[in-house]
Structure 1
């Protein structure tokens, strides 16, 4: 059986994979041919592995395979009957975090903030590719057929990762039992290990980091406005 770990980039997917592996000892996989995050921060953190077979073979197996994807729900490799855990974060926070990640190599350059703003603008107006825009991506999973996705808010995951992961997995794969003595890394520990990837683990960065015109541009995208209200973000 496949359980998709779905999200728009920078919504807590990697942290969820780490906690999932620590609590359940479950390896994790990705929909992509290469796990770029594992290559950057280390496969050991979430026991990232190569897929053991085709998606159909994994789907038909008795074992549960947790597979990360940033693609929209209509991706052809995702079957209608597949279960999914969907991680969602305020879209403005995703834009800031993703733009910072993509431009971090220019952080010491005098025009860095202009580079960051341009990257943020590109992310906000994105409509193509497997990921699509933030609102497109989130709404595609909200429009999912049965079985309905299991939603995990970034804020809840950061505040109490054990509870957030156990609640989601208890619904997605009820046959699995968590290890009660398992210890989860704090976000501070992850930041110390890989500060370029694990930035802060907080909310509200968009208020100070996203220029006013990009705030307006974000809300001008109809899918963003709909998805924000649907997920309780104002």
Structure 2
């Protein structure tokens, strides 16, 4: 089986979308910014319900987790053998097993890029995107059995806790994995995205890199969303691209909840420099 999949993995609201928009602009190499609503032409998401329905060749029940998981190996095999040397696949799934099915099979995996963000900021963005209060967001991020609910567009994703998620990806030896902090992407996007391209085994063209960074900037994507909307915007949120900065938690997250996050995720936060 062809190992062509490069996973773009992250916990929700950690910078995955920015990464995919950058890559789309890098691959498109146009003279103007690619529409944010066309970024998925250059990559796949492993939770889109229509893809599972296409593989099944018939109607499916997106709420039937076992049915979806049984179809997953066929879906990933189809992606990995589509003739491309690199297939970038977005996932929020943990690198784990669910109901006996391996979610991230090494036999189709070329490499993985794991995007990490301060969980204090994740909680704020998570709350806004999923339409829950901060306390509920923190509670979900701390659950080892946390899974998303399926709907007509997306099937269930198996996440686990924020800390479990990071460990599942960063500690694997089954395939090469690059861990990149969202905060470092903000500080030096050219350097961060260059590392991603090289890790995936792709050539780096410096002018093309600089242009793709510019075309995927927060100013550009937020302008596009304001003018034409963004199809990935949550139904319970007015905007997808809110600030493009780090540290929002300092003014938005209650001290008690920040303390709870630090207690629950102390080990991983300390490892990646998120504890003062």
**Shorter-chain-normalised TM-score: which range?**
0.7 to 0.9
Distance of 1:201 and 1:3 partners within structure 2: 25
Aligned to 1:23: 26
Q: Which runs of 5+ in 1 are unaligned?
A: 36-52, 104-114
| CA RMSD after TM alignment | 2.5
The reply on whether 1:215 has 2:246 as its aligned counterpart is no
The range that moved more, 189-198 or 202-211, is 189-198
SS of 2:44's partner is strand
TM-score, structure 2 normalization = 0.67
The reply on whether 1:57 has 2:78 as its aligned counterpart is yes
Distance of 2:43 and 2:206 partners within structure 1: 15
1:21-77 CA-to-partner distances (Å, cap 9, x unmatched) read 111237011111249xxxxxxxxxxxxxxxxx7312333445210000011111413
Distance of 2:134 and 2:179 partners within structure 1: 30
Distance of 2:251 and 2:126 partners within structure 1: 15
Number of paired residues? 205
Distance of 1:78 and 1:230 partners within structure 2: 24
Distance of 1:169 and 1:138 partners within structure 2: 21
Q: Which runs of 5+ in 2 are unaligned?
A: 29-40, 51-73, 148-157, 230-237
Aligned to 2:91: 69
Does the CA-based 8 Å contact 1:124-1:217 persist in structure 2? no
Distance of 1:175 and 1:207 partners within structure 2: 39
The reply on whether 1:186 has 2:217 as its aligned counterpart is yes
Matches within 5 A, 1:1-234: 1-25=4-28, 27-34=42-49, 54-60=75-81, 61-75=83-97, 76-80=102-106, 82=109, 83-103=111-131, 116-128=133-145, 129=147, 130-174=158-202, 180=208, 181-182=211-212, 183-192=214-223, 193=225, 196-221=239-264, 224-234=265-275
SS of 1:54's partner is helix
Q: What is the CA-CA distance between 1:6 and the residue it aligns to? A: 0.2
